[in-house]
């Protein structure tokens, strides 16, 4: 029986693509570089904001100094605008409420900087509803390293056999695999069916309500 669901944040719980794209494009424009269409950012996100800025830069400008400079401009802008357009996906609030009713705990594990992960979860959902909310920090490696999941499992009291990870990218699937828990790919996010299947997702779902059904049916 599943007792714990670990959610990715961006592309799984919330659609944050526009705010991320707007802030990176602002930094690029300020730096004299070409910007990108919002949809292109679907393949830039997933490995943290530093990697996001690296991928947005022209190929010949991806050196440490330039990435650091762009990331600083991005972070200052994003700090002011991270909730301008970011919102929960349709059906997520209902899913969380349903999980609460059947006694299933849930947590968030993101490669977004920890401070923004905490803020977004608290403002859009209420952090007290989550048994843990972890983002990227200096003392915690980014996904797909399993340490973030290991910390959540330890705090929740759930066994690996009682937990699953739900996310929209191969990073989330690989994190689950590295952690020894079930992986559920979410198609309402930023990436594709092929990416999730090729990464080895145990299940792939189209809507949040399908996750509840999987849990109720015992996977």
> Active-site positions?
8
Going by C-alpha positions, the residue among 64, 98, 75, 100 that lies closest to residue 212 is: 98
Cis peptide preceding 164, ω within 30 of 0: no
Q: How far apart are CA 156 and CA 50, in angstroms?
A: 30
What backbone phi and psi angles, to 5 degrees, belong to 134? -125, 135
Q: How far apart are CA 198 and CA 178, in angstroms?
A: 15
Going by C-alpha positions, the residue among 15, 219, 207, 10 that lies closest to residue 95 is: 207
User: What are the residues facing 10 on neighbouring strands?
Assistant: 14
Continuous segment of H or E residues that includes residue 61:
none
What backbone phi and psi angles, to 5 degrees, belong to 44? -95, -30
Q: How far apart are CA 91 and CA 134, in angstroms?
A: 22
User: What are the residues facing 204 on neighbouring strands?
Assistant: 185
């Amino acid at each position: 029986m599943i007792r714990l669901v670990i959610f990715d944040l961006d592309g799984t719980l919330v659609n944050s693509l526009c705010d991320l794209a707007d802030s990176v494009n602002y930094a690029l424009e300020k730096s004299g570089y070409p910007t990108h269409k919002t949809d292109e950012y679907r393949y830039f996100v997933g490995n943290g904001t530093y990697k996001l800025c690296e991928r947005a830069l022209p190929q010949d400008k991806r050196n440490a100094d330039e990435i650091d400079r762009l990331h600083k401009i991005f972070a200052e802008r994003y700090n002011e605008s991270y909730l301008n357009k970011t919102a929960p996906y349709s059906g997520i609030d209902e899913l969380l409420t349903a999980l609460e009713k059947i006694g299933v705990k849930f947590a968030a594990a993101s490669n977004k900087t920890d401070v923004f992960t905490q803020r977004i979860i608290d403002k859009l959902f209420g952090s007290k509803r989550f048994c843990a909310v972890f983002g990227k920090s200096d003392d915690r490696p980014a996904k797909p390293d399993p340490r973030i999941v290991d910390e959540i499992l330890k705090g929740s009291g759930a066994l690996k056999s009682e937990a699953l990870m739900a996310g929209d990218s191969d990073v989330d699937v690989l994190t689950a695999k590295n952690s020894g828990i079930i992986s559920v790919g979410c198609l309402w996010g930023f990436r594709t069916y092929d990416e999730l299947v090729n990464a080895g997702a145990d299940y792939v779902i189209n809507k949040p309500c399908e996750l509840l059904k999987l849990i109720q049916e015992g996977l």
